[in-house]
Structure 1
Amino acid sequence: MSFMATVSLLEAALDRQLQRDAGMPHAYYQILAMLSEAPERTLRMSDLAAITQSSQSRLSHAVSRLERNGWVRRRPCPDDRRSTLAELTEAGFAALAAAAPGHVRSVRENLFDQLDPEQVGQLRDICQAALCRLAAAPEAVVMPGARVTNPDTEGTVG
């Protein structure tokens, strides 16, 4: 219960900070961040939905809002007519870059400043162990830039 309460309250704090300082919800920041880490700053909408744990319709609504801001553009996938690509624009990258320092500061203030260096290492190890297990599932889509290593073998999983 402590874990669920912590994640819930941290998400709410990050959302409030981003709304106040950058005029975007945390969900939009996450979409922009995932696109910024992807090759050519582009992902299939279906992959982006899986990475952000969003339904297709919820992601489509969010991307529509991001398109109106000029931060994302949609285009047909050249090798699969059924798929649509979401691409981060230069304006979207600039909005993400402007929002990032405040977001990072909020993560530090709300999470890492409460921990000593040993606890930070423990948290990293705990998250890495859980991520390794979760990423091994056949249906798992791991966010771009995530380093998934197996602590038992020190090898990269994904």
Structure 2
Amino acid sequence: MTESILPCTPLVQLEDAVDRIASKMPGSPREEVTLTRLHFYTQLQLDAWFNASLKPYELNETMWMALMLIYSCPDERVSPSDISSAMTFSRTNATRVVDELEKKGWIQRRPCPGDRRKTELALTVSGLALIQQVLPVQRARLKELWQDFSSDERRQLETLERKLLARLTG
């Protein structure tokens, strides 16, 4: 007789591993471990989903968020330290992202008008055109991603995510 085999998905593997550990070490916080791992797994899938949608534009999520940060400013200019701070990057990682955006011609480094010792990052015409091309596509994909959640569910998830973040950063 052939045994039925369940699909071996990462979630099934996760739950099986958590159960095995709990049986070896009674009192393990099964629910907390599962929530934490589920959050990590969801984040990995979200990153992959987002990066796949940006790949045709030679972008990744990190580059896109840096461009959006610059675009969100009234004069479409920021300091490199603003990128580092807002995206919680090390200065080294922020520099790498900025270098890549500049190499692609989407931003440029300029002397800061108020202090020539400082540098600011500004969108180029090409960078602005890219944003105007990609932003409507990303907006539509985000709406599609969240379409199965009611407004109440989205608000509740936002509240829970903010609560978790506050616990981690507070």
The answer to whether TM tops 0.5 is yes
More helix as a share of residues: 2
Of 22, 39, 63 in structure 1, the residue corresponding to residue 74 of structure 2 is: 39
Give how far 1:71 is off: 1.1
Structure 1: gaps (5+ residues): 138-158
Percent of residue pairs identical: 24
- Pairwise CA RMSD: 2.4
Q: How many residue pairs end up in the alignment?
A: 133
- What residue in structure 2 maps to residue 7 of structure 1? 43
Contact between 1:35 and 1:87, CA under 8 Å: does it hold in 2?
yes
Q: Equivalents in 1 of 2:164, 2:120: separation in Å?
A: 30
Q: Equivalents in 2 of 1:83, 1:57: separation in Å?
A: 17
- In structure 2, the residue corresponding to 1:40 is in which secondary structure? coil
The TM-score, its normalising length taken from structure 1, stands at 0.71
* Deviation string, structure 1 residues 13-53 (Cα, Å, up to 9, x no partner): 10111013x22111111111000011311111011111122
Q: Aligned pair 1:93/2:128, yes or no?
A: yes
Q: Runs of at least 4 residues of structure 1 off by over 4 A?
A: 127-131
- What residue in structure 1 maps to residue 118 of structure 2? 83
Of 20, 24, 35 in structure 1, the residue corresponding to residue 59 of structure 2 is: 24
Cα distance change of structure 1 residues 91 and 109 upon mapping to structure 2, 3 Å threshold? same
Q: Equivalents in 1 of 2:140, 2:41: separation in Å?
A: 21
Contact between 1:76 and 1:84, CA under 8 Å: does it hold in 2?
yes
Contact between 1:45 and 1:83, CA under 8 Å: does it hold in 2?
no
Give how far 1:56 is off: 1.7
The TM-score, its normalising length taken from structure 2, stands at 0.67
Q: Equivalents in 1 of 2:152, 2:107: separation in Å?
A: 40
- In structure 2, the residue corresponding to 1:113 is in which secondary structure? coil
Letter in 2 for 1:93: L
Q: Aligned pair 1:117/2:147, yes or no?
A: no
Structure 2: gaps (5+ residues): 1-35
- What residue in structure 2 maps to residue 155 of structure 1? none
Letter in 1 for 2:155: G
Q: Equivalents in 1 of 2:163, 2:114: separation in Å?
A: 36
Give how far 1:81 is off: 5.1
* Greater Cα radius of gyration, structure 1 or 2: 2
* Deviation string, structure 1 residues 124-151 (Cα, Å, up to 9, x no partner): 33345567x48x97xxxxxxxxxxxxxx
- What residue in structure 2 maps to residue 126 of structure 1? 160
* Greater relative CO (CA pairs within 8 A, separation 6+): 1
Letter in 2 for 1:121: R
Letter in 2 for 1:120: R
